[in-house]
Chains A and B, each alone.
Chain A
Amino acid sequence: MKFKEKLKSDKFLITAELFPPKGTDISPFLQRASALKNLDAVNVTDNQRASMRVGSLAMSRLLLEMGIEPIMQLAARDKNRIALQSELLSANVLGIENVLVISGDHPNAGEYAGTKTVYDLDTVQLIKTARLLETGVDLAGKKLLGVPKFCVGAVVNPSAQPNDLQALMFAKKVAAGAEFFQTQTIFDAYEFKAFFDKIKELKVKVLPGVTLIKSVKFMQFLQKLPGVNIPQKIQDRINSASDPLAEGIKICSETIKELRSFADGVHIMAIGMEEYIPEIIRQSEK
């Protein structure tokens, strides 16, 4: 069953994400991907945190060839409306239907500070554009020869305050045509239950994001990212653990276990430690 069809089922959906390589050596990427064959789909990021890497489309296609269903992330940051539509069509002709539409981290704090940002379309406009292409015309009103078919996803951040505004944006993206959502990382499932319950009314699947904290140093790095808030009790557990990675795996699987009781699924961000994802899932099933 395809991811698009699974979204209509009651299955607890599990996705993860992979970063394309910076350079042409794809072997570590493929190695990491091989641990994710049993997942419902795997995201491929689009120059995440405004770094420069191999494109999401190329790596998504390689996943497909391995028998893994990809979700191609597409950031509005780097492409104008011509390039965005072209990328969507290119994805489709290479067999990729799932796209996650994002605005994209601003380059300001990254390795490409000072680059020219595009943001020609915003996320709502980009979702609508993907839906428009499916009707057989493009933004210029020109007819397409062959019509694409997408499964369009978007993001919502449950921890951004005021989160009423995030809930409104969720509804707005659903109205624009988003079929599923993945969220920024959360570390405490119950803290956000009220938010997830609230947006559940629209009956669109939401996969909350969880992150594997692999070390104390990594936790400190995470803490500095926009929109990330690690609760004190989680910080204490990692700081006092004799094996922070094992503790991180435990925390991750506990969160997933909690999510299983009320959420539609989970999106696991292991950031280079994808080989532990099968173990995280196993522990969450206990």
Chain B
Amino acid sequence: MIITSKKPLDEILKSVSGVNTLFIVSCGSCAAKCGTGDQKAVAELKEFLEQNGKTVLGNTELESACDMRLAKKDLLKNESFQKADAIVMLSCGAGSQSVEKVSGKIIISVLNSEYVGSTERIGIYKKFCGICGECVLIETEGICPRTRCAKSLVNGPCGGFVNGKCETDQTKDCAWVLIYEKLKKNGKTEKFLKQYIQPKQNKDY
């Protein structure tokens, strides 16, 4: 799921400084699951805004804020949504922009979209996939070096690993040491030696 984090309160306060009436839209998928857009987060945000002199006209949880069809169906006929000066979004950037696209309203997105996370347990997420559009997992024993190597090296490690950990962070495993251990176990080091992964075709835009 998309892992989001809450923006600092002073930043939120600054971004609502020019508006009086607000409507909160939260996402029932990823943001709700990682605790940044669940009912508790909505209630806290509502209380904070009201304490700071804002009027919250209402709130709606979309099943998935990134689904423009749902945004259209659940929001456009809501009077309070239409009346509000601005919409405060508790969703990832895809969700916020879907709501902007279908409504044209002023959007105040109060979460930062961090990464696609795999859940180890609630609150502990691992960044395994960078949704790069050119998967190398077949070649790299199911462990992604593009995402899990700090330098995105796809043809093997740098010289900075120390006892299996990354030079950038001693608490992080070196992706290439993990891949290597698996290659060794599966008798594929020879394959690694001969394998060459071409430069990636980037499709950023």
Given contacts A106-B167, A108-B168, A108-B169, contact A122 B154 (CB under 8 A): yes
- The reply to whether A122 and B198 form a contact with Cβ atoms under 8 Å apart is no
Annotate B135-179 by CB proximity to A: 1 below 8 A, 0 otherwise: 000000000000000111111111111111001110000001100
Q: How far is the CA of A156 from the CA of B161 in the complex (A)?
A: 12
Which residues of chain B (99-147) have a CB below 8 Å from chain A?
none
Closest 7 CB pairs of A and B: A157-B159, A226-B167, A124-B155, A108-B168, A122-B153, A226-B160, A103-B158
Given contacts A105-B167, A117-B151, contact A169 B156 (CB under 8 A): yes
- The reply to whether A160 and B153 form a contact with Cβ atoms under 8 Å apart is no
Interface flag for A83 (CB, 8 Å):
no
Contact partners of B199 in chain A: CB under 8 A: 81, 120-121, 125, 139
Chain A residue with the shortest CB-CB distance to B202 = A120
Could you name 15 residue pairs across A and B whose Cβ atoms are closer than 8 Å? Answer: A105-B167, A106-B150, A106-B160, A106-B168, A108-B168, A122-B153, A155-B159, A161-B163, A162-B177, A166-B157, A168-B180, A171-B193, A175-B193, A226-B167, A227-B159
- The reply to whether B159 and A122 form a contact with Cβ atoms under 8 Å apart is no
**Chain B min CB distance to A121 (Å):** 5
- The reply to whether A106 and B177 form a contact with Cβ atoms under 8 Å apart is no
Contact partners of B39 in chain A: CB under 8 A: none
Q: How far is the CA of A172 from the CA of B198 in the complex (A)?
A: 14
**Interface contacts beyond A106-B168, A122-B156, A160-B159: sample of 13 additional A-B pairs, CB < 8 Å, sorted by A:** A76-B151, A105-B167, A108-B150, A119-B153, A120-B199, A121-B199, A123-B158, A124-B155, A165-B157, A172-B192, A175-B193, A184-B159, A226-B162
Q: How far is the CA of A77 from the CA of B176 in the complex (A)?
A: 18
Q: How far is the CA of A213 from the CA of B159 in the complex (A)?
A: 21
Which residues of chain A (94-127) have a CB below 8 Å from chain B?
103-106, 108-109, 117, 119-125
Interface flag for B196 (CB, 8 Å):
yes
Interface flag for B52 (CB, 8 Å):
no
Chain B residue with the shortest CB-CB distance to A124 = B155
Which of B151, B164, B193 touches A161 (beta carbons < 8 Å)?
B164
Which of A117, A139, A165, A226 touches B177 (beta carbons < 8 Å)?
A165
- The reply to whether A105 and B152 form a contact with Cβ atoms under 8 Å apart is no
Q: How far is the CA of A117 from the CA of B192 in the complex (A)?
A: 26
Contact partners of B155 in chain A: CB under 8 A: 122-125, 172
Interface flag for B82 (CB, 8 Å):
no
**Chain A min CB distance to B196 (Å):** 7
Contact partners of B15 in chain A: CB under 8 A: none
- The reply to whether A166 and B159 form a contact with Cβ atoms under 8 Å apart is yes
